[in-house]
Structure 1
Amino acid sequence: MTLSVTNTLTGEREEFEPRNDEDVLLYVCGLTVSDDAHLGHARLWAHADVMHRWLAHEGYDVRHVENFTDVNEKIVARIGEAGESEPEVAEHFTSHVIRDMRGLNLKRAEVYPRVSEHVPEIVDLVETLVERGYAYESNGSVYFDVTAFDDYGKLSNQRLDEIETQGAAAERSEKRHPADFALWKAGAVDPGDIAEHRDADLDPIDEPEGLTWESPWSEGRPGWHVECSAMSMTHLDDTIDIHVGGRDLVFPHHENEIAQSEAATGEQFARYWLHVGLLQTAGDKMSSSLGNFLTVEEALSEYGVDVVRTFYLSTAYRSEQTFGESEMREAEERWERLERAYETAVDACDSTDAYAKVEAEAFREKIAETRESFQTAMNDDFNVREAMAALLELATAINRHVDDADAYDFWALRESVETFEDLGGEVFGLSFGDEATGDGTVTLAEELVELVLEVREAEREAGNYERADDLRDDLVDLGVEVQDGDDGPTYRFE
C-alpha cells in the first residue's frame, strides 16, 4: 500500500506522488515567538515530526523547513516584559522554543529560517507581485489585489464576495477591496495594534515601535502572510510537496500564501496541504490568548517526553484532540505498557531461557503482522492511532510468550525488540532502553548547544554581532566554552 493523504486543497484522499522519487520538500508553518510554546503548538510539531520520520523510513530524503516568525506586533507587545526591544523579545522566546523542540525529541529541520533575516527576499517577492500587476502601493504600504488572482479562495472554498475584510481597521481606507491583504506595511507597529496584545499591567506604548527596513515603497515591515512564501521558496523551491500547518491557518494565512506565491511564479505552490486539528481543553481551543494552556516545559516536567508523545499518537493528525488529566493518564498507561513489554523482551532475549531452535510460530506471525499493520496505518494518511494499536498488540504478544513459554524463541524476541526500536523509536520518536535513562542527558545537552551555535552563526551572517555575542555569553554562563576557528565554532563543557 502506497501513502495516501487527505489534501485540503482538493478535499480528497489522494495517493502521494512527490515531485520526484528521491526527496520530499516539506514546509511547516512555525511559531510566532511571542510567548512560550504550549501543548497546542507542540501537537503540530509532533505530527509534522512523525510525518518526517515516516517519509524518511520509507526511503525519501526529507528536506524539512520550519520557520520562526520573529517580526510581529505580538512580539512588540511584550517589550518591557521579556526584553527591551523586538529582537530581544524574539530572541528570548526563540531560545525557549528551541529548548522545547529538543525536549520533545523532534528531528531537526534542515533549517529554521527567521523573518528578520529574509527581508531582502520578501522585498524581492513583493516587487515581483507589483510588477506583474497582482499588488499595488498605497500610502507607502503594498497590498495584494485579490481580484487579480482568479483562484483566490480555492483552499478555503470561499467565494470572493463572501470573504470578510482582512487586516487592521486602519488599513481599510488604503485598500481597493476589503479582502486585499498587506504585503508591506509602512512604518513601525501602530500603538493601537500593540495595545490589542499588550498585558494591561504593563505601561502602554504610545509611539510606533518595532524594527523597520528600507524598501522601494517606504521604511516599514513585511506583512505576515508574505513571509512564509519568501522563506519557503528561498530554502526549498517554487513548488513544494507538502505544506503542514494548523487547521486555524487555512484562512487567511494559507489561502494568501497560495495567492501570492502562485501569482509571483506562475507555478503551483504546494502539491499537498495537510492541516492538523486543534487541541481542545475544557471545550475550547488551547490558546495563549485564552490562557487555558499548559506550556511544553511544564508538560515535559510533569509527564515526561514519552508520555507527551504517546498522548499525541493516540489521535490522528486531522482530528481534534482533547487534553485533560484522564487523557494524560491513559497516555501514561500506554507508554508504560510499551516500555514494560520492551524491557521484558530485552530481558528474555538476554536470558539463558532463550534458545536458537525454539520457534513460536504464533509469536513470529504477530511480529510480522505488527509491521504490516503499522505500515498500512501510516500509509493511510499517517494514521498514528492505528499504528499505535499495532504496537500495543505486539506488547501483549511479548508478555504472553514470556509468561506461557518454558523456553523462549530468541529470534522472535530479538525481532520484537528491533520492531519497537524501529517503529516505536525511529518513527514515533519514543525512547526505549538506554535512551530512556540518564544516558540521553549528555546527548540532549550537546544537541541544545549545537542548535544555539547554529542560531548564533545565523545572527553573525546577518550582521547581528551583538546578539551573537550575547548567545556566546549565555553559553559561557551555562558552563560551555566556545572557540571560533576557521572551520567554524567548537565547544567543550567546563
Structure 2
Amino acid sequence: MTLSLTDTLSGEREPFEPTGDAVLLYVCGLTVSDEPHLGHARLWAQADILHRWLAHEGYDVRHVENVTDVNEKITARIGEREEWKEEADVAREYTNEVLSGMRGLNLERAEVYPKVSEHVPEIIDLVETLVDDGYAYESNGSVYFDVTTFPEYGKLSNQDLEEMESQGEPDERAEKRNAGDFALWKAGGVSETAVEEHSKHNHEDHPSGQTWASPWGEGRPGWHIECSAMSMTHLGDHLDIHMGGQDLVFPHHENEIAQSEAATGEEFAGHWLHVGFMQAGEEKMSSSLGNFFTVSDALREYGPNVLRTFYASAEYRSQQAYTEETIAEARRRWERLERAYETAVAHADDADAGAKVEDSAFRDTLATARTEFVAAMNDDLNAREAMAELLGVASAVNRHVEEHDQYDYRALADAIEFFEEFGEGVFGLQFGEATDGNVELAEDLAELVLDLRENERESGNYERADDLRDTLEALGVDVEDSDDGPTFRFD
C-alpha cells in the first residue's frame, strides 16, 4: 500500500506522488510574538511524524519551516521589557523559545529555518514580478495583489470572490481596488491602530517596527508574500507538500497560491495538508485567549515522551483536546510502552532466552502489527491506529514473559526492533533514556549552579563565576545575563 494523503485543495484522499528525487516539504512556522504553546507544538509534532514516515519509506526529505520575525504582533511588544528596544529583540527571544521547544520535543531538524528578516530582497523581487506581470498594483506606497486577475482565487478555501469580505487593516481598504485584494508590501511602518490592537501594555511612543527601502518607498512585507518568497528561495517554485495549521487555509494559504502561481505559472504545491486545532476546554488554544500551556512548561511537567505519545494519539486532521484526562492517558500509554520495552530488553538478555524457543502466537502478533502499522501510516498518516499497534506489541511482550519460563529470543529481539523502528524512528519517542524523570532535576541543578555563580560574583570572585558559567555551557546549558538576572536554556 502506497502513502495516501487528504489534500485540502481537492478535498480527496490522494496517492502521494513526489515530483523529484527528494520530497520538498514546507511547513508554515510560527510568528514569534509570544512563547510557543502546545497548540503550536501540535503542528510541529505532526509535521515531524510526516517527515519521519517519509524518511522511513525511503524518501529523501527536504524540510523547510519558516520563522515569521517581522509582524505587527511582535512590534507591539517593544518596550515590555527593558531589553526589548527593537522588533528584532522581541523576535530573537521567542525564536530561541521555538527552537528550544523543538529540540526538547526531539523533532528532526529541518533543512533550514528561514526568517522573514533575512529574505526581504527576495520578497521585493517577487512583488516586482507580480507588478510587472499585471497581477499587482501600487497604491500610496503600498502594493496589493489584484484577486480579479487570478481566475482560480478561492479554490483552496472554497471562497466566492463576490461574497468575500475585505482583507487587511481598516486603513488599507480605501486604497484597494477590490475588497479581496491583499497587501504584498505595506508603506511605512506598523500603524498605530495595529500596535494598539495587539499591545499588552500602553505605549507612550507607538513603535512602528523595522522598515526597508523598496521601489515603492520605505515599508514592510505583507504577511502572505513572505512564505512564498522563502519557500521559493529554498525549495523552488513547486512544493510536494505544504503543511500548516487549519486556521491558515484562508486567507494565508489561499493568498500564497494566488501570488505564487501568478508569478511562476506553475502549480505551487502538489498536496496541501492542514492540522486541526488544539482545544482547551470549549475553545481553540490560543495566545490571544490566554488559555494556553507553554511548551517549556509542558516539557518540564510531562517530559517529551508523554507529549509525543499525546500527539500521536489523534489523527492530524482532527481537533485534539488538551485536558487532564487526555494527558493522563498519554502518560499511562507511554509508561506502558516504556515498561514493555525494558521488559523485552531485560528478557532478551536473560539466560532463559533461547535460540530454539518459539512462541508462534507472539511471532504472529509481531508480523501482523508490522503490517498494520505500515498500513495505518500509509492511510493518511493514521497515527492513532499505528499507536494502537505499538501498544498491542507492548501487550504481547508482557503476555509472553508472564506465560513462559523460557523466552523466545528472536521474538523479543523483533519486538525491541519494532519499538525502536516505529516508536523511536516514526513517533520520536526515546526508549532507554532517562529524559522524562530528570527534566526537573536538571533544571533545579542548573538554577543551583547559577545561584552559586551569582554569590561568587557578588563576592568579587569573578574568575570562579566565569568557571561556573563555562562548566554549565560545556554541559549544554546556554546562560544569558540580563538586567533582570541570568537565564538559561538547554541546547
Same-fold call, TM cutoff 0.5:
yes
Alpha-carbon distance between aligned partners in 1 of 2:439 and 2:87, rounded to the nearest angstrom: 35
Which amino acid in 2 is paired with 1:170? Answer: D
Overall identity of the aligned pairs, in % = 65
User: Are 1:10 and 2:10 counterparts?
Assistant: yes
Which amino acid in 2 is paired with 1:102? Answer: R
Match of 2:473 in 1: 479
Alpha-carbon distance between aligned partners in 2 of 1:84 and 1:480, rounded to the nearest angstrom: 31
Alpha-carbon distance between aligned partners in 1 of 2:412 and 2:306, rounded to the nearest angstrom: 25
Match of 2:41 in 1: 42
Which amino acid in 1 is paired with 2:346? Answer: D
Query: Is this contact kept in 2: 1:141–1:182, CA < 8 A?
Result: yes
Match of 2:132 in 1: 131
Match of 1:330 in 2: 329
Cα 1:79–1:243 change in 2 (3 A) is same
Structure 2 unmatched runs, 5+: 441-468, 477-489
Alpha-carbon distance between aligned partners in 1 of 2:187 and 2:238, rounded to the nearest angstrom: 30
Q: What are the equivalent positions in structure 2 for 1:238-253 lying under 5 Å apart?
A: 238-253=237-252
Cα 1:141–1:102 change in 2 (3 A) is same
Q: What are the equivalent positions in structure 2 for 1:64-83 lying under 5 Å apart?
A: 64-82=63-81, 83=84
Query: Is this contact kept in 2: 1:55–1:62, CA < 8 A?
Result: yes
Shift, 1:478, TM fit:
5.6
Alpha-carbon distance between aligned partners in 2 of 1:153 and 1:477, rounded to the nearest angstrom: 56
Q: What are the equivalent positions in structure 2 for 1:72-221 lying under 5 Å apart?
A: 72-82=71-81, 83-199=84-200, 202-207=201-206, 209-221=208-220
Query: Is this contact kept in 2: 1:306–1:335, CA < 8 A?
Result: yes
Shift, 1:203, TM fit:
2.9
Aligned-partner SS, 1:298: helix
Structure 1 unmatched runs, 5+: 442-474, 483-492
Deviations 1:354-402 (A, max 9, x none): 0001111111111111111110000000000000000001111000000
Alpha-carbon distance between aligned partners in 2 of 1:435 and 1:237, rounded to the nearest angstrom: 41
Aligned-partner SS, 1:65: strand
Cα 1:481–1:432 change in 2 (3 A) is closer
Which amino acid in 1 is paired with 2:236? Answer: D
Cα 1:360–1:377 change in 2 (3 A) is same
Query: Is this contact kept in 2: 1:341–1:399, CA < 8 A?
Result: yes
Query: Is this contact kept in 1: 2:246–2:274, CA < 8 A?
Result: yes
Alpha-carbon distance between aligned partners in 2 of 1:10 and 1:427, rounded to the nearest angstrom: 27
Match of 1:461 in 2: none
Aligned-partner SS, 2:127: helix
Alpha-carbon distance between aligned partners in 1 of 2:172 and 2:472, rounded to the nearest angstrom: 46
Which amino acid in 2 is paired with 1:276? Answer: V
Query: Is this contact kept in 2: 1:191–1:205, CA < 8 A?
Result: no
Query: Is this contact kept in 1: 2:136–2:146, CA < 8 A?
Result: yes
Aligned-partner SS, 2:44: helix
Shift, 1:434, TM fit:
3.5
Query: Where has structure 1 moved over 4 Å in runs of 4 or more?
Result: 435-441, 475-478
Which amino acid in 1 is paired with 2:19? Answer: R
Alpha-carbon distance between aligned partners in 2 of 1:433 and 1:116, rounded to the nearest angstrom: 41
Backbone CA RMSD of aligned residues: 1.9
* TM-score normalised over the length of structure 1: 0.88
Alpha-carbon distance between aligned partners in 2 of 1:412 and 1:481, rounded to the nearest angstrom: 39
Aligned-partner SS, 2:425: helix
Match of 1:398 in 2: 397
Deviations 1:141-177 (A, max 9, x none): 0000000000000000111012111000000110000
Shift, 1:303, TM fit:
0.9
Alpha-carbon distance between aligned partners in 2 of 1:42 and 1:213, rounded to the nearest angstrom: 32
Query: Is this contact kept in 2: 1:194–1:205, CA < 8 A?
Result: no
Shift, 1:206, TM fit:
3.8
* TM-score normalised over the length of structure 2: 0.89
Alpha-carbon distance between aligned partners in 1 of 2:437 and 2:196, rounded to the nearest angstrom: 46
Alpha-carbon distance between aligned partners in 2 of 1:81 and 1:478, rounded to the nearest angstrom: 29
Which amino acid in 2 is paired with 1:241? Answer: D
Shift, 1:204, TM fit:
1.7
Alpha-carbon distance between aligned partners in 2 of 1:283 and 1:77, rounded to the nearest angstrom: 28
Query: Is this contact kept in 1: 2:73–2:195, CA < 8 A?
Result: yes
Cα 1:407–1:378 change in 2 (3 A) is same
Which amino acid in 2 is paired with 1:17? Answer: E
Which amino acid in 1 is paired with 2:161? Answer: L
